[in-house]
A and B are shown apart, each in its own frame.
Chain A
Amino acid sequence: MANRSVWSDNRFWQRSAAWVTGFAAILLIWLTFDTSMQISMGSDEDLKNGVTKRVPGPTVINYKITYEMDAKRGHEVPVIGEKELFFGRDDWSEEEAGALLHLGKLGSQAKNCMNCHTLLGNGAYYAPDLTKAWLDPAWGPEGSLQAMTGKPTKEEAMAEFLQHPSQYPTHERMMPNLGITAEEAKGLVAFLKHMSSIDTNGFPRNFGKIKGAVHGK
C-alpha cells in the first residue's frame, strides 16, 4: 500500500463519525435542558402577575384568550386577557383546574383524537386542526357550531358536541361517538382551552382572521 491517504482510511472516518455524533448529541441534550425550562407549565401566580409563559398554567381557563398580531414578533400570539367564566366559574383553583386539564389530556389520548385530528399540527389529517380550536369563531357567540348545539356558551357547546358528535353533523364526514361522558367532555374542553393559550410561534397563521375569503368578498 504505497499511496496511503487519510481520506481512504476507515479509522479516520470511524473517528469522525463518533465525534460528529457525540457533538450533535451533546448539543441536543444541552438545548433540551433550555427548551424544557422554557416549556414547563406556568403557575397560577404567573397568571396573576401577568408573567408570560410559553405554556401557561391550568388556571388559564379562568381567563379570556385571544390570538393577536404581535408587531415585534411579526406573527400572532395568544394573549391572556381579563377574567372569563368557564362552565359558570372564573375561580377554578390551581388543583381543580389541574385536575380538569389532567382529565382532558388523558381523554385526548384515551379517545385517540390524534388519529383523526392534528394537535399542535401533529397527528392525522381527516379532521380540523385542534391547536386553536377554542378560538375558532364558529364556536363563538355568533358561530354556527355554537348555534347548532343550542347551548348558551362556547364551553357548553363544545362539551355537548363532544358527547354526541354524530348528532351534529356539519359535513358528510362526521366525528364518531367515542363514549365521552359529561365529565370527560368538560376536561377535554379545558384541555383545548389550555392548548389554545400555548405560544406556538404564530402557527396557525391568520387563524380565524379571514371571514368569507373564499365565498365572495
Chain B
Amino acid sequence: MGKIQLNLSVVNRFGVLVRISELFARRGFNISSLEVHETSDPDVSEMTIVAYGDDYAHTQMLRQLGKLHDVISIK
C-alpha cells in the first residue's frame, strides 16, 4: 500500500469537492488528506489529495478522476 499523491486542477464551481470525494467513496478508496487552494485564475482551483493504495488503486483513481468533467488536469 503505497502513498499516492494527486495534484488536481479543477473548475472552481460549487459541488466540485462533492463530486471528487463521492468518486473516492464509491470506488472504495479512502482519502487521507485533502487540500483545496485558490489560484490566480478565479475559475480554477487546485486540489491535493493523499490516499493509500496499490498500483491498481492508483491507476483507477487517475482514470476515474480523468472522466470527471470538472477535473481539468491531474498530476
A and B held together in a complex: no
Binding site for A on B (CB under 8 A): none
Binding site for B on A (CB under 8 A): none
